[in-house]
Every structure is written in C-alpha cells, then in structure tokens.
C-alpha cells in the first residue's frame, strides 16, 4: 500500500513539475492571420458597402478593434514582405511592383520572418494560399522561411480553378505539385479547417491564411454569382461573389476554432494587402479585363487605386479580434503593416532576432488601450521614381520622374486628397521631403528593375538612372520556371 502511494505521489510530483512548462506553452495565444487580396475599403459592410454583404467579416470587426488608419504597401509582394519581416521593402529590394511569373528573385534569404521567430518560440507554423515572395528557387518557398507546412501557390495570381498562369500550373502541398481543379477559396478554407481540427492544444499555432480573393481573374462559383443577380456589371458581380466566398471562408475558420475550443485563446488579425483596383485601375492589363468599364473595387472616400501612393492604394481594411482580450473599439491612430512582427512577438514573449533594424513598432497599446501611435512618421514607400511619407496629419507624395511633382495633403481635413497644399505650406513640404530622402538613402536597388532591366544602374543616393550594358537583357515575356518543372 505504501509502495503504491509512493508511486502515486511521485507521479503527481512529476505532473506538478511539468505543469508550468505545459501551461506556459498553452498560455501563448494561437495566431490566425487572414489576408484578403485587393479588397476595396468600401467593399465591406462595416464601411458602408451598398451592394456587397460581408456579415461574418463585419461581426468580427465590430467585436474587435477596427484600425481605420492602417497602412499597407501599394501592391501584393511588398505588403507580404513587410508583414513577414517587419521591415520596409525598400531595405531589401522589394519596393517596386511585384514578382511576376517570369522573374527569378524573391524575398532575400537573409531576411528573417515572423514565422521563424514564432517557430523558435514553440509555435507550429502553417501557410495556406498565396505566397508571392519567390517561386523560381525552393530557397524562397515558405517551407524554407519558417513555415512547417505550405499549401497553395508560390506565384502571385493564378486561375482560381486550373491554378495556371502563363501556361504553367502552380499548386502544391509541401513541394509536391497537385492537380486540383476546385475553387481556390474553397480549397484553402477546407485545408485551414483541417489544420485547426488537428490541433492538440498542447502547442500554440500560427496560421497564415493568404487569400487570393478578390484579386483577378474575376471568377466565382455559380452559387455565389446567383447571390448578386441584381448587379448588372459582370465584373462587379463576380467581384462581389468572390467577396461573399471570402466572407464564408472567414465564417468557417471561426466555426472550426469554436468547435475545437480554441477561439478564446486565438488572436485573429484580418487585413487587406492593399487597396482595391478602382476607377481606371492600375495597368493596361486591367483595361483588357474591364474594357472601358471602371475596375470593380470601391475604395470609399479615398482617392486612387491599388499600386498608387494615394490613400485608396495604401490605406487598407484591417481589424484585430480576440474574445476577452480585445474590446470593441475603433481607432484612427496610424498603424503600419510592418508593425505586426514586433507587436505579435512582444505579445508572446519574444523579440526580433537578428542584427537588421526592424521598422515596425509595438502597437498593442493602440489596440487594447486606445493609446497613441508610437510612430513619429511612417514610410508609405520609397522608389527611385516616387515616394510618400506620412507624419501626423500631413502626407507628402513626391514624384521624381518628369514632370516632377510634390503633393502635400492634410489627411484630417482632406482624407480624399483633393487639395494639394504644397505651395501654401512649403516649410512642411520641405521637412517631409527631407524625411523621405533620409529613408531613401537606406534603400537598395529594386530587384524588379535589376532583373528586367539590368542595364540600368539604380542610385538611390543621387536619385539617378544610368544605362550600363546590353539593352536587350531582361526577358519579361518568359514563362514561369518552377524548380520541379525546369
């Protein structure tokens, strides 16, 4: 009897000794990041969407903290890079345009990601959906950037059904190419739900769910198209249907967390990677899609479209939801997409590991306490030919390409950027121009131009372009090359 009691006592003692470690692991929140692609500011219900319904996104937003002055980068690749690294893309050459199918570069491998940080802190790390940070070399793939698991496409936008672009199919699970013809949003939603259902609860997990919706090509299942029969423009109708599928996807992920008993300890961050493609769009390619009709997105009161430096291109839908930890609130304090890495790491007891400076700030007090933004200013972007910076209520947009221009806006009085005040306030314009140039001095050559136009020498310190070499170098029309399809 004594021997039996002794064994029980020892077992209980061991359990008690182990409990703190287990509790510490379980006390760290799960983190679910949902990134919408090209979602217009005015295309969610809580921003007053008239013809698109997003009840699930709206509910999460209103039950959490809405970030009404959240800034992304102007396009897909730069925003994803900024989120994962916490560093402005101009520091490592991803500030201009996106990685297109025929290119061979990616997020430089010496850049550390939040997935690597969280993995080191005991998180299981998953990425599903769109990567768009390098596809031609496996070194750029998410599996080699801190993620234990990846399911989706490494190239940017693909056909929602065939997963093809430029004649090449790109759809994989952990490096194994797959032939799956179901709808993109459905496939990654099902996989995200499966991942949640398989969690044991003994280790925290980080799920990075990068949606392709509502990016072109504008495709949606008939059941979603049928919901919007009243929208006459077929492009806008398809866009609305894609937004509805995205909203249903969010609902299913939340339901999976609830069913698994993980919702109370899961922080959910929803954001768009940039503004929507609105008005005349941003390229000749969009004209080919819409003809003479306007591009489908609605950026609400803001001027501009995806790819522009105006608010319509860079002020994005964003909110944080965490039951019991984040109270319903709305904040207009400035938050930037580079802030998520230091904020989330601070929340879980970690810190950015590496010698490179992190541009992001810990904005958790902004989210949960209604505190002031920790930013003195934010860099919206710094490219060789253009750039923008915001400081307080003032925003400067500078274009170096001829004809040069300087635009200064008071965003508190003029969020639609209709009144250029550069001449009325030359001192403020000059001050912000100096700040923008200070940022630009730390920029490296844009990899997009380096690959497609290697004969151009990019000098950010003097804001000059020099021709050097063979003008016939770049190959912008080539097909994408994936490692197992060479």
Which residues are annotated as catalytic?
A: 76, 132
Please, which residues bridge with residue 387 across strands?
Answer: 382, 398
Alpha-carbon span 366 to 376, nearest angstrom:
14
Q: How far, CA to CA in Å, does 17 sit from each of 51, 134, 209, 323?
A: 57, 45, 36, 30
Alpha-carbon span 253 to 56, nearest angstrom:
11
Instruction: Tell me the pairing of strands 329-331 and 65-67.
Output: parallel
Question: How distant is the alpha carbon of residue 484 from its chain centre?
Answer: 27
Contact 67, 320 (CB under 8 A): yes
Q: Which two tokens stand for residue 122?
A: 């005991």
Residues in Cβ contact with 275 at an 8 Å cutoff, skipping those fewer than 6 apart: 38, 40, 41, 72, 297, 299, 302, 304, 305, 306, 308, 311, 312, 313, 314, 315, 316
Q: List the beta strands (DSSP E) in 145-280.
A: 149-153, 164-165, 168-169, 172-173, 176-177, 205-210, 266-272, 278-279
User: What is the number of other CB atoms lying within 10 angstroms of the CB of residue 144?
Assistant: 14
């Amino acid at each position: 009897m004594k021997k039996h009691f002794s064994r029980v006592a020892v077992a209980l003692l061991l359990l008690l000794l182990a409990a703190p470690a287990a509790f510490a692991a379980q006390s760290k929140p799960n983190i679910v990041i949902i990134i919408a692609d090209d979602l217009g500011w005015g295309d969610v219900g809580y921003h007053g969407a008239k013809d698109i319904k997003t009840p699930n996104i709206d509910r999460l937003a209103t039950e959490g903290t809405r970030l009404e002055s959240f800034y992304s980068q102007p396009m897909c690749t730069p925003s994803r890079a900024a989120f994962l690294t916490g560093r402005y893309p101009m520091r490592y050459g991803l500030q201009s345009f996106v990685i297109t199918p025929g290119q061979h570069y990616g997020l430089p491998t010496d850049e550390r990601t939040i997935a690597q940080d969280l993995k080191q802190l005991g998180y299981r790390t998953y990425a599903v959906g769109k990567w768009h940070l390098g596809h031609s070399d496996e070194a750029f793939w998410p599996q080699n950037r801190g993620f234990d698991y990846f399911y989706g496409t490494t190239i940017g936008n693909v056909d929602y059904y065939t997963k093809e672009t430029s004649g090449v199919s790109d759809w994989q699970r952990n490096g194994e190419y797959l032939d799956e013809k179901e709808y993109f949003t459905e496939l990654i939603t099902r996989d995200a739900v499966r991942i949640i259902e398989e969690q044991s609860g003994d280790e925290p997990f980080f799920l990075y769910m990068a949606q392709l919706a509502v990016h072109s090509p504008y495709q949606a299942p008939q059941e979603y198209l049928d919901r919007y029969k009243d929208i006459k423009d077929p492009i806008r109708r398809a866009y609305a249907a894609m937004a509805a599928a995205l909203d249903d996807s969010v609902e299913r992920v939340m339901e999976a967390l609830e069913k698994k008993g993980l919702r109370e300890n899961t922080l959910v961050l929803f954001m768009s990677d940039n503004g929507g493609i609105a008005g005349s769009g941003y390229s000749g390619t969009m004209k080919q899609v819409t003809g003479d009709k306007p591009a489908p997105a609605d950026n609400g009161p803001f001027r501009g479209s995806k790819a522009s430096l105006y608010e319509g291109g860079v002020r994005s839908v964003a909110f944080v939801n965490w039951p019991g930890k984040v109270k319903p609130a709305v904040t207009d304090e400035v938050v930037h997409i580079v802030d998520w890495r230091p904020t989330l790491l601070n929340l879980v007891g970690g810190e950015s590991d590496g010698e490179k400076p992190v541009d992001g700030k810990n904005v958790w007090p902004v989210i949960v306490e209604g505190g002031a933004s920790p930013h003195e200013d934010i860099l919206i972007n710094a490219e060789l030919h253009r750039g923008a910076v915001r400081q307080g209520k003032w925003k400067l947009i500078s274009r170096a390409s001829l004809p040069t221009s300087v635009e200064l806006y008071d965003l508190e009085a003029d969020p639609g950027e209709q009144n250029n005040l550069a001449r009325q306030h030359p001192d403020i314009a000059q001050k912000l121009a100096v700040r923008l140039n200070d940022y630009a001095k730390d920029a490296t050559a844009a990899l997009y131009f380096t690959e497609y136009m290697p004969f151009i020498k990019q000098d950010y310190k003097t804001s000059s372009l020099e021709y050097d070499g063979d003008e016939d170098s770049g190959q912008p029309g080539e097909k994408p090359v994936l490692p197992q399809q060479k």
